[in-house]
Amino acid sequence: MAGINENYLKLQGSYLFAEVKKRRIRYMEQNPDARLISLGIGDVTRPLPAASIAAMHLALDEMADEKTFKGYAPDGYGYSFLINKIIEFDYNARGVSLDEDEVFISDGAKSDTANFQEIFETGCRVAMTDPVYPVYIDSNVMAGRTGSYNDGGYSGVTYLPCTAENGFTPELPEGKVDLIYLCFPNNPTGMTLSKKELEKWVDYARKNKAVILFDSAYKAYISEPDVVHSIYEIEGAKECAVEFRSYSKTAGFTGVRCSYAVVPKGVMGLTAAGKSVSLNDLWFRRQTTKYNGTSYIIHCGAAAIYTDEGRRQVREMVGYYMENASIILQGLKDIGIKTFGGVNAPYIWLKTPNDIDSWTFFDKLLNEANIVGTPGSGFGPSGRGYFRLTAFGKKENTIEAVKRLKNLSLKP
């Protein structure tokens, strides 16, 4: 029998959202007439933008004609027509310049953030904000970069607590770390980091020769002016940061799959002998070996969101979800629950009433209000006593969920 990678045995029983789904299914089996409302996993409910649909239909027709048929996408990066739109609209428009070979089209920020750690040595010291999107931690556990799971977290990882007490602003690590995962606007708290705070992280990374893995999958939801959209708006970030973006939450592509990673050529790693190596070269090498490219049809669907109508349709979609966020925020405020986020992100992070444990609150909501949310403790030790609701539901379900929350008995 082949030996296994025993790091997998350190992982918690199931991936957080798989556990939530398991409990939801079990409840439905036992209560087949219940009308559950899911505000748990951040999966979208609005149909794709009409501009993307039209572009994908046309692309499919091209695939049906031998004169325009296409096989594999260009090696490593993806099609230039999408990369150039990304550079123009997502970066140049924010004063950031990038070369075409610094952008890699992929199939999701989940896979990119999970895979990127592969190009670093196992001994790298990893820091991540806590609570954290479980993919960052689980992929490092699988790679053997952590010890075992204990008391809500893994040993060997530098957790950077983000709680109401510190305004969800992580402190710089005391010692030296090599890889830093930051996600802003944040999943799960929905909070952001000011430009000044982000500058501290870029300074830290440059001084300590660390790499920041910056997930900005939720940037389309930023509504306040002082929030940075890209880490490259911070001077020096092109020497120390890789950025991940996705069309899942921006344009409803969760079931379509398209994203991109920006790996500036100035971000370097070190060999054991102390020689600098370009992460861009390594990522290109990794992608050409392990990924055969996002399909042409999907590229066309993504490129269409940069047209005038595509941009308007995306704004409408984001507006729809952010209206849900306001409905949830107001509803929770009305019943005296303390909330965070929901202004620059589609997630509402709430303090559980009477400090009840996150999974107990999950069961209470499921059993008494037929609402599925996500327990804060599933995102890391600092998520204990918190709970996450998403704004990605249908508006009528969101209104109904708030009505049910208002009828819930919150007495200790």
The binding site for ligand MLT (CB under 6 A) comprises: 41-43, 110, 133, 187, 248
State the Cα–Cα distance between residues 74 and 293, nearest whole angstrom. Answer: 7
Shortest Å distance, C-beta 390 to ligand MLT:
6
CB of 20 to ligand MLT, least distance (A): 9
Q: Rounded CA gap, 104 and 112, in Å?
A: 10
Min. distance of Cβ 172 from ligand MLT in angstroms? Answer: 25
- Integer angstrom CA distances of residue 79 from 70, 88, 100, 247, 302: 11, 15, 10, 16, 11
Compute the CA torsion angle 399, 184, 280, 110 (nearest 10 deg): -30
Q: Find the shortest distance in angstroms from Cβ 235 to ligand MLT.
A: 30
Residue nearest to ligand MLT (CB): 42
State which residue, 42 or 269, has the beta carbon closest to ligand MLT: 42
Nearer to ligand MLT, 41 or 350 (CB): 41
Give pairs for 15-20: CB < 8 Å, separation 24+.
15/134, 15/138, 16/134, 16/374, 16/378, 16/379, 17/41, 17/134, 17/374, 19/378, 20/362, 20/372, 20/374, 20/375, 20/378
Which three-class secondary structure string do you get for 222-249? CCCCCECCCHHHCCCHHHCEEEEEECHH
Distance CA 212, CA 198 (A): 11
**Choice between 187 and 280, CB closer to ligand MLT:** 187
- Token pair in block for residue 216: 């900005």
Comparing CB distances to ligand MLT, the nearer of 43 and 197 is 43
H-type alpha helices, 143-275: 195-208, 248-251
| CB of residue 188 to ligand MLT, shortest distance in Å | 6
Comparing CB distances to ligand MLT, the nearer of 234 and 372 is: 372
For residue 72, the minimal CB distance to ligand MLT (Å) is: 26
Task: Give me 237's structure tokens.
Answer: 């970030």
> Smallest gap, in angstroms, from Cβ of residue 135 to ligand MLT?
7
Q: In sequence order, which residues have a C-beta less than 8 Å from that of residue 93 and are 6 or more positions away?
A: none
When the beta carbons of 42 and 393 are compared against ligand MLT, the nearer one is: 42
Nearer to ligand MLT, 267 or 345 (CB): 345
From the CB of 261, what's the least distance to ligand MLT, in Å? 15
Question: Among residues 105 and 132, whose Cβ is nearest to ligand MLT?
Answer: 132
3-class SS of residue 319: helix
